[in-house]
Structures are given as structure tokens and as C-alpha cells.
Amino acid sequence: MAVYTEVNDDDLARFIDGYGVGRLLSYKGIAEGVENTNYLVHCERGTFILTLYEKRVDPDDLPFFLGLMDHLAAAGVTCPLPVRDREGHHLNELSGRHAALVTFLDGVWPRKPKVEHCRELGAALAAMHLAADGFRLKRANALGVSGWRPLFAKFADRADDILPGLQTLITRELDDLEQHWPRDLPQGVIHADLFPDNVFFIGEKLSGLIDFYFACNDQLAYDIAVCLNAWCFSSDFSYDAAKGRAIIEAYDAVRPLTDGERAALPMLARGAATRFLLTRGYDWLHTPANALVARKDPFDYVRRLRFHQSATSIATYLGAERA
């Protein structure tokens, strides 16, 4: 929620000149994203988002992220298209940072997602999974199952400062996840962070997917599990089965789920809740209370995790347990 790197007007005008998008007409630092600096840039030939990659992003990952957006856009996914400079490069430098220019997408992310938003989301997620097929670069999921225990080791001894009993809860959950985690589901490129603020709508129609900076290769159905966590819980922590069913059914209509994926959904949902619980827990203990970036409460994910632990099958997520 902050501009981290200030950009000089002369430097930016020179940078923009390298892209053949006409003269720089305006730029505004925008309060979006917590990892990088973003400017909304208006040039004679269009409106763009300029991203300066801050130090939490590994520069070696940038060709994967930008190449993926390029690949997806070419395959018909409405996502930001990285603009190539006159020499054909996506990636440049500005103000001491790696920097890229991508096309601006119209749309508003839903602060209170409705069932109809979830239906659009499910269909778009499946379409993205299909469109990513054939993308040749690979990136491991640093925040996948094998990364959770090392991440927890960094703050396990202080976990009970967040919530009494949290250390035991997570330790037992990691034991279970490592033992029962599915390993043979269909693989591909996943978004891995498809929260409502990364999905734009105009009215109730999905207009674009953004922020591919956690994208990686993993089991496709894990992305559905992330969405169930990110879209289907109310502010009172209750699960909204109408939203979950909308995501799953709309996904399934575009890319039919295998029996293995259906069976694995509760475990994948537990894994996704654990992943966000771990990063939020770590950030909670490592972000000063007065920092520019708002801390996200890890407790939300304790509640979600407990719900998933109680789920018996995909029927729980479809709201069809008695059917």
C-alpha cells in the first residue's frame, strides 16, 4: 500500500522513450501491491502500469513472471501484457530497480465478492490453467508443501505470542500435510495468489487477472484451494457454500476435475490455509506495528484451517453433504 521508490521525471521520460509508446503525459504512484512500487503511467499511445521490483522479488524470477503474462495474453487471457522496448526486452532498469511496463487493465476488484463473481472467477481460473499449457519456463513453488516447515522454523518459538496454542496447531498440521499431501494430481502453472484484489470486474463481468508474482508450477487444483480460502469466507469466518460451489462448478465446466483432484480438495484447502497462516504469522512478528504496510491478521487463517480440518469431502465445499 505504498510507493517505495520515487522516480525522477527526467529518468522516467528517458525510460518511456525506449518503448515507442509516445511521450510521457503523466504518472502517479498508486497505492496497490505490497511487494513492489507501482505507477500508473499515461503516454500518448496508451495507459500502462510501471512496476519497479523491490528487494523481496528475486530478479531471476522476473523472466518467468513477464514471460508468463506474455504467453497468457497471447493465449487469450485478459491479463497485463508486458510491453517490449525498441530492442525487444521486457525488463529494464529505472531508479536502481529492475522495472517493467505492462498494459493497464480496466476493472475494479470486488471488496465484497458475490456468488456471481465467484462463478466468473472459477471459469477464468480454469481458462488460465489451460492457456498456460505450453509455457516453457519453470518456477518451483517456494511456498509449496516443502517450504512450509522451513518457514515455520523461523518463528515457531514465538508462534504462541500470536495466539496461545498456535505452535502445536501448526506443528500437528504440518505433520498431517506432509504425510497426506497429494503428489500425483495434474500439474501446470498456477497463479497461487488469486485473492479478490487480483481479479478485476466491470459490473459482474470479469475483466482481468493481475499480479502473477507468486505464479509457479504446482498441482493445478491447489489454485482452487487458494480461491476457496480467499473468496468464500464471510467476515464472521463462516464458509459460504454457494460461493464455493460457484467456483468449483464453473471451473469444472471449463476444465473437468479428475477424481483425484475432487478427493484431494479438503487436504489442498488445509494446505492453502496453512500457507497463508504461515506467511501472515511470520509477517505479523516481523512487521513493526507502525509500518507503512498494514499487517494482515493471521487469526483469519486459523479459523479457515479449522473449518477445512472438519471437511469430509468435496461435498463440504459444494454445500451438498446431505445430498
Chain residues in the site for a second copy (CB under 8 A): 1-3, 8-10, 12-13, 23-32, 40, 42, 105-112, 200, 202-203, 288, 290, 292
Nearer to a second copy among residue 134 and residue 203 (C-beta): 203
Nearer to a second copy among residue 256 and residue 288 (C-beta): 288
Q: How many CB atoms lie within 10 A of CB 205?
A: 11
| Shortest distance in whole angstroms from residue 3 CB to a second copy | 5
155 Cα distance to chain centroid: 23
| Shortest distance in whole angstroms from residue 157 CB to a second copy | 27
Nearer to a second copy among residue 121 and residue 302 (C-beta): 121
Total residues found in the chain within this entry: 323
| Shortest distance in whole angstroms from residue 28 CB to a second copy | 4
Strands 205-209 and 97-103: unpaired
Question: How far apart (Å, rounded) are the C-alpha atoms in residues 275 and 226?
Answer: 9
For the record, the C-alpha cell of 10 comes out as 527526467
| Shortest distance in whole angstroms from residue 171 CB to a second copy | 35
Question: How far apart (Å, rounded) are the C-alpha atoms in residues 302 and 163?
Answer: 9
Residue with cell 529492475: 98
The one-letter code for the residue type at 63 is P
User: Which runs of E-coded beta strand occur in 220-290?
Assistant: none
Question: How far apart (Å, rounded) are the C-alpha atoms in residues 261 and 233?
Answer: 21
Nearer to a second copy among residue 140 and residue 294 (C-beta): 294
Kindly state the helix (H) or strand (E) to which residue 93 belongs, with its residue range: strand 91-94
Nearer to a second copy among residue 176 and residue 197 (C-beta): 197
| Shortest distance in whole angstroms from residue 131 CB to a second copy | 23
Contacts of 175 (CB under 8 A, 6+ apart): none
Nearer to a second copy among residue 153 and residue 289 (C-beta): 289
| Shortest distance in whole angstroms from residue 116 CB to a second copy | 13
Nearer to a second copy among residue 95 and residue 258 (C-beta): 95
Question: How far apart (Å, rounded) are the C-alpha atoms in residues 245 and 166?
Answer: 30
| Shortest distance in whole angstroms from residue 60 CB to a second copy | 29
Question: How far apart (Å, rounded) are the C-alpha atoms in residues 232 and 303?
Answer: 13
Nearest to 298 by CA among 281, 286, 283: 281
